[in-house]
Amino acid sequence: MSELTAAIIGGLSLGAVYSLVTLGIVIIFRATETFNFAHGSFMLLAALILGRLQSHSGLPFEVLALISLAIVGALGAMLFRFVLRSTIGRPHFVAVIATLGFAAVADGVIGIVFPETQYTITIPGLSNGSTRIFGATFSVASLEISAFAVILTVALVLVFRFTSLGVRMRAAGQNSLLASQGGINVHRVYIGSWALACVLAGVAGIAYGSVNSVNQGIESLALLAFPAALLGGLDSIPGSLIGGFGIGLIGGFVAAYIGGEYVTVVTYLVLLVVMLFLPHGIAGTRSVRRV
């Protein structure tokens, strides 16, 4: 019984964080049709910056969080403006490789600038201690973080669906020529999407890092978010919730019943299976063309 609980609640709890990360990946894919392989770096960077700021300065958490997120968001905007903008119009793989290159640079810089791996992030207001649910133990803080992640993700999904901002982003993503003819500043939408997605990555990184350790593990979250994005539908914003929780649950069950070291492999096998049978994911547009 406790395994089942651990599987479900643990899975859902992690799934909430995945959803947030996946949302960022989907935003970027919709806007610029690229996979952002640097997503994990942004997550880790925000957490590291916050961690170092917290240990060196007495400023309140909110201020430090804003600073870290602003830095990460600005980096994302700069990445688009100075690197990716020149890849528009060229074959898609150009942009993907550029993000790969950026990820390598980011990882290297992170390794050099933040050699210590012992940062902790404290979020004031997070509860301590743990609780038992149906025989399995969970830290209250991680449950609270997950709740926060879900609320944030759902809020953003609603914003996208129902506000003019969301409509504009959808239009820009679907057909940039028509969108600009319709008066939408497409480039601002692109930069905004990248900045927003990177800020979300930062939020996820900080959130995750506050209840787990701030290290490379955060980056592997992003790597698991790609199968989640595919599962939910690469261009579906609500799909990021489906995919995130789906992958979280699968991981939860695998970890509880088979073993934690199997989680990554199984998740990626799921990716292959999804590609084989449901390439547009659960909620993505069905126009994926077979060649």
**Interacting residue ranges for another protein, rule: CB under 8 A:** 35, 37, 83, 86-87, 91-94, 96-98, 100-109, 111-112, 115, 175, 178, 181-182, 223, 226-227, 230, 261-262, 264-265, 268-269, 271-273, 275-276, 279, 288-291
**160-184 burial code (b ≥16 CB/10 A, e <16):** beeeeebebbbbbbeebeebeeeeb
CB of 103 to another protein, least distance (A): 7
- Which are the contacts of 42, defined by CB distance < 8 A and separation ≥ 6? 72, 75, 76, 106, 198, 201, 202, 205
CB of 101 to another protein, least distance (A): 3
Q: Are 85 and 99 in contact, with CB atoms under 8 Å apart? A: no
Task: Quote the CA–CA distance of 93 and 16 in Å, as a whole number.
Answer: 30
CB of 102 to another protein, least distance (A): 6
Angle at 239 between CA 233 and CA 240, to 5 degrees: 100
CB of 208 to another protein, least distance (A): 20
**10-31 burial code (b ≥16 CB/10 A, e <16):** bbbbbbbbbbbbbbbbbbbbbb
**47-62 burial code (b ≥16 CB/10 A, e <16):** bbbbbbbbeeeeeebe
Nearer to another protein, 108 or 217 (CB): 108
CB of 237 to another protein, least distance (A): 16
CB of 238 to another protein, least distance (A): 17
The length of the chain is: 291
